[in-house]
């Protein structure tokens, strides 16, 4: 069912208005005045064509929470918890007085995302960009580049096991000895890599006695080269 329009709030002697509590120069206060919230009320109302059932959550509240969730990288539960504590979050979602209770259950945000789909989320980003361009915070040059966070990409990094560290240390010691013209009785160039491979196989097969014995041998190879 379509959402209901909010009734105008009257002054309350026991509760000050949010505009009297917050700094009107705050970035969220300025952004809230620039975004076309009526567009969301008109367009998102079409996702609830039924005239029966419980009224939907007000689109202004949902759009504001989704924007705050994206900017601050919060989960559904976290953005609701921050909303209860933060007067700027509440003002951004068009609250008049400070609220001490959560406006909706966190699961409602998930259901809203299913209804509006990717297109609805893209419109939320579009309206934010238009608001930024209106005040000059976003220009055409800043939209030509896209910053991509690659920290989540898989890296080809091997786990630093003892066997790999011993073998790596042995190989470096051999290289340093050759560069310095030092004579080594034995470099273990064949035995050590094979033994390091066996240690990994023993560990995978859970043959820990053999693994520890081979690891002691590999450690001895590295120690002999170090002493030479």
Q: What is the pLDDT of residue 1?
A: 44
Closest CA to 65 of 96, 107, 30: 107
Average pLDDT over residues 171-178: 89
**Mean pLDDT score, 125-145:** 69
Q: What is the pLDDT of residue 139?
A: 64
Whole-number pLDDT of residue 164: 86
The Cα 80–Cα 62 span in angstroms is 11
Q: Is the Cβ–Cβ distance between 47 and 2 less than 8 Å?
A: no
Q: Average pLDDT of 30-44?
A: 81
Mean pLDDT for the stretch of residues 164-171: 89
- On the question of pLDDT at 138 being above 80, the answer is no
pLDDT at 135 over 80: no
Query: DSSP letter at 160?
Result: -
The C-alpha angle 152, 155, 157, rounded to 5 degrees, equals 140
Residue-wise pLDDT for 58-108, tens only, equals 888 888 888 888 888 888 899 999 999 999 999 988 888 888 889 889 888
Residue 81: its pLDDT value, please?
A: 92
Q: Enumerate the domain spans of the chain.
A: 18-143, 162-227
pLDDT at residue 3 in the model: 55
Q: What angle, 0 to 180 degrees and rounded to 10, lies between the N-to-C axes of helices 191-204 and 208-227?
A: 150
Say which residues have a Cβ less than 8 Å from residue 224's Cβ, sequence separation at least 6: 185, 186, 188
- Across the chain, what does the average pLDDT equal? 81
- Cβ atoms of 61 and 1 closer than 8 Å: no
Is 100:110 a contact under the CB 8 Å cutoff?
no
pTM: 0.54
Q: Which long-range contacts (CB under 8 A, 24 or more apart) does 178-185 make?
A: 182/228, 183/228, 184/225, 184/228, 185/224, 185/228
Tell me which of 70-84, 111-125, 187-201, 212-226 is least confident. Answer: 111-125
Residue 200 banded pLDDT, cuts 50, 70, 90: confident
Most confident of 13-17, 42-46, 89-93, 118-122: 89-93
DSSP of 119-151: HHHHHHHHHHHHHHHHTTSS-TGGGS------T
d(CA 134, CA 156): 44
Residues forming a β-bridge with 12: 15
Question: What percentage of the chain reaches a pLDDT higher than 70?
Answer: 78
Angular region, 117: left φ>0, alpha ψ -120 to 50, beta rest: left
pLDDT of res. 140: 66
């Amino acid at each position: 069912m379509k959402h209901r329009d909010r009734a105008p709030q009257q002054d309350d002697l026991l509760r000050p208005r949010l505009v009297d509590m917050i700094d009107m120069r705050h970035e969220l206060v300025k952004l809230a005045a620039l975004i076309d919230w009526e567009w969301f009320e008109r367009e998102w109302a079409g996702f609830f064509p039924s005239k029966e059932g419980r009224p939907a959550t007000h689109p202004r509240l949902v759009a504001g929470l989704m924007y705050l969730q994206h900017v601050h990288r919060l989960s559904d539960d976290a953005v609701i918890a921050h909303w209860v504590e933060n007067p700027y979050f509440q003002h951004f979602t068009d609250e008049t007085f400070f609220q001490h209770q959560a406006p909706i259950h966190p699961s409602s945000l998930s259901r809203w995302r299913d209804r509006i789909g990717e297109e609805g989320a893209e419109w939320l980003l579009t309206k934010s960009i238009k608001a930024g361009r209106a005040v000059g915070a976003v220009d055409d040059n800043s939209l030509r580049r896209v910053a991509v966070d690659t920290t989540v990409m898989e890296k080809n990094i091997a786990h630093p096991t003892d066997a790999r560290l011993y073998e790596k240390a042995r190989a470096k010691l051999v290289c340093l000895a050759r560069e310095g013209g030092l004579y080594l009785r034995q470099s273990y160039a064949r035995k050590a890599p094979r033994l390091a491979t066996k240690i990994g196989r023993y560990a995978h097969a859970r043959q820990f006695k053999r693994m520890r014995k081979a690891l002691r041998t590999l450690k001895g190879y590295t120690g002999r080269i170090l002493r030479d």
